[in-house]
Amino acid sequence: MGKASIFVYITVAVVVLLFLSYSPNNNHPSHRHRRLKLRSNFTLSPSRHHSVAFDPLVAELERHREDKQWEKEYFHNSHPEFDSAPAHESQPEWEDFMDAEDYLNDEDKFNVTNRLILLFPKIDVDPTDWFVSLHELTQWNLQQAKREVLHRTQREMDLHDKNHDGFVSFSEYDPPSWVRNADNDSFGYDMGWWKEEHFNASDADGDGVLNLTEFNDFLHPADSTNPKLQQWLCKEEVRERDTDRDGKVNFKEFFHGLFDLVRNYDEENHNDSHHSDDSMDAPARVLFAQLDKDGDGYLSDVELLPIIGKLHPSEHYYAKQQAEYIISQADIDKDGRLTLTEMIENPYVFYSAIFNDDEDEYDYHDEFRIHRGLSWSTPGSVGG
C-alpha cells in the first residue's frame, strides 16, 4: 500500500470513528462490558476442528498459552515419576495467563475498534477497494490457520527430531500417548495415520525422512497436495468403512457414513436436521453410481478420490465457513461484503470465539466448527 493510499485510509478511518462516535443511533458506545477470554484448543487426543482466532495478536497469546500446556503435558508423559510432586510452576503460569487476559480487557492496551481499523487494510487486498469480500476474508482466515498449524507442526518436529538434523525418521517418531495406551477396539488404533504406511506416503521425495513440509503433511494430510497422501486417505476410508472386510465399499457401507459426510459438505446451510434413509436413498445411489467407474457395484480406494476432499475437509473449507458466518452476522446492508463501518459496529462477531457471554444475553454462535468430527492434527502427541 503506497503512502497516498495509507493517508487516504487513515483519513477515512478517522471520519468513520467520528461518525460512529456522534451517531444518535450508536447503541454501542462502549464494548468493555463484555470480557474477552482466551481459548484453549489443546488436547491429547483427536478432537473437533477449532476455528483460529481472527486477530493475529490474540492468536499469538493463545499459542503462548497452548505451548505452556503442551510443555506441561510433555513433562508429565516423559517423567511420570514426578506425578505426585507439587506443581511449583503452576502459579506463575496461571499468573501469566491472567496477565494476558487482563491485557485483552484493558481498552488502553487492546482496543477492539483500533484493532479492526489496523487489520482492515491487511484483509482488503484483492482488490483494495474499501470492501472486505468473502474471498478476502476466507484468505485471511486461511493465512491465520496455516500459521497456527505450522506452529504446532514445528513444535512436534522439535520433539521427534531426536538427532536434531532437521528431519524426522520413522524410528524417531513415536505414536502419540493416546494411541499407545489404547486397546485394539479403541478409536484410532486400527486407523493407520500414525503407522509406517502413512509415514511413507508423506515422504514426497522418497528419501526415507520427513522435512518440515512433509511432516506437516503427515500431521495434516487433508491439507496436502501430495497425491500419495491423497491415495493413502482413500485407503484408510476403505479400511474404516469396509465392515465385511472384502477390500471394497459396498452401497450399504457407503450409505451409512460416507454419504452423510458428502451431503453435509455439499449443503451450504446444513443444520443437522434429520433426513430419513428413504429420502436419501435415491441421491446416494446416484452418487455411488457416478463413483463406481467400473460398474462392479463396489467402490475401491481409487474410486473414492473424487470425494476425498469432502470426507476430509481442508483448512480452506473451515476458513470459508468462518468467513461466511462472520459476513452473515456483520453485513448490515446485505450486499455480501463488509465495510470498515460494519466491522466496527459488529466487533464481537470477529472476537466472539474468545468472548465470554455469561453475563448478558449476547447470543454466541460457532456454526463453522460443527462439520467433520475429527482433526488429524495431534498437537498433544507428547509421549516421546
> Assign residue 299 a region: left if phi > 0, alpha if psi is -120 to 50, beta otherwise?
beta
Amino acid letter for position 97: F
Greatest C-alpha distance within the chain: 71
pLDDT of amino acid 67: 85
Q: Give the whole-angstrom CA distance, residue 314 versus residue 188.
A: 20
Q: Report the predicted TM-score, pTM, of the whole model to 2 decimal places.
A: 0.76
169 beta partners: 209
Q: What is the dihedral of CA 139, 143, 144, 150, to 10 degrees?
A: 150
Q: What is the spatial distance between Cα 196 and Cα 218, in angstroms, rounded to a whole number?
A: 11
What residues of the chain score a pLDDT lower than 50? 24-25, 27-33, 44-47, 85-92, 94, 186-189, 191, 269, 353-384
Contact present, 319 and 142 (Cβ < 8 Å) = yes
Strand, coil or helix: 12:
helix
Q: Which three cell numbers stand for residue 366?
A: 460457532
Decide if 371 contacts 313 (C-beta within 8 A).
Answer: yes
| Per-residue model confidence (pLDDT) at position 20 | 52
CB atoms within 10 A of CB 165: 10
Judged on CB neighbours under 10 Å (0-12, 13-18, 19+), 244 is exposed
d(Cα 141, Cα 43) in Å, to the nearest integer?
A: 22
Instruction: Tell me how far apart the alpha carbons of residues 307 and 304 are, in angstroms, rounded to a whole number.
Output: 6
- For the record, the C-alpha cell of 149 comes out as 498449524
User: What tens digit of pLDDT does each residue of 164-199 get?
Assistant: 999 999 999 876 665 666 555 544 445 455 688 999
**Which amino acid makes up residue 231?**
Q
